[in-house]
Amino acid sequence: MKKILPGAIGFFVAGWATAAFAADLPQRPIPAPAPAVVMPYMYDWTGFYIGANGGYGQNRACWGNFAGFNIEGCNSKSGGLVGGQAGYRWQFGQFVFGAEIEGDWANMRASLPSVFVPGGIDSSNVTSVGLLTGQLGYAMNNVLFYLKGGGALANNYSLVQNAAGTGLYNASSHRLGASVGVGIEYGITPNWTIGLEYDYLMMGTANNSFSCNAGCAAVANSISQNIDMVTIRLNYKFGGPVTARY
The single-letter code of the amino acid at 179 is S
Compare 220 and 123 and report the one with higher pLDDT.
123
Sorted by where each starts, the structural domains of the chain and their CATH numbers stand as 45-244 (2.40.160.20)
* pLDDT for 218 beyond 60: yes
Q: Which of 120-124, 137-141, 196-200 has the lowest mean pLDDT?
A: 120-124
- Alpha carbon 4 to chain centroid, angstroms: 95
Can you tell me the distance from the alpha carbon of 102 to that of 187, in angstroms, rounded to the nearest whole number? 20
Compare 120 and 186 and report the one with higher pLDDT.
186
- Alpha carbon 159 to chain centroid, angstroms: 33
- Which of the 8 DSSP states describes residue 94? T
- Which of the 8 DSSP states describes residue 162? -
- Best-predicted range by mean pLDDT among 126-130, 178-182, 239-243? 178-182
Residues listed for the chain? 246
* pLDDT for 68 beyond 60: no
Q: What is the mean pLDDT of the chain?
A: 81
pLDDT band at 135 (very low <50, low <70, confident <90, very high): very high
CB distance 153 to 204 below 8 Å: no
CB distance 59 to 118 below 8 Å: no
DSSP β-bridge partners for residue 65: 71
Confidence at residue 34, expressed as pLDDT on a 0 to 100 scale: 57
Beta-strand ranges (E) seen in the chain are: 41-43, 47-65, 71-92, 95-113, 121-140, 143-161, 167-187, 192-212, 219-237, 242-244
Q: How far apart are the first and last CA of the chain?
A: 77
Phi and psi for 20 in degrees, rounded to 5? -65, -40
pLDDT per residue as tens digits for the range 18-52? 545 445 555 566 666 656 544 456 899 999 999 99
pLDDT band at 67 (very low <50, low <70, confident <90, very high): low
Q: Which of 65-74, 125-134, 196-205 has the lowest mean pLDDT?
A: 65-74
Beta-carbon count within 10 A of 176 CB? 12
Picking from 122, 134, 156, the residue whose alpha carbon sits closest to that of residue 226 is 156
Can you tell me the distance from the alpha carbon of 202 to that of 204, in angstroms, rounded to the nearest whole number? 6
- Alpha carbon 109 to chain centroid, angstroms: 24
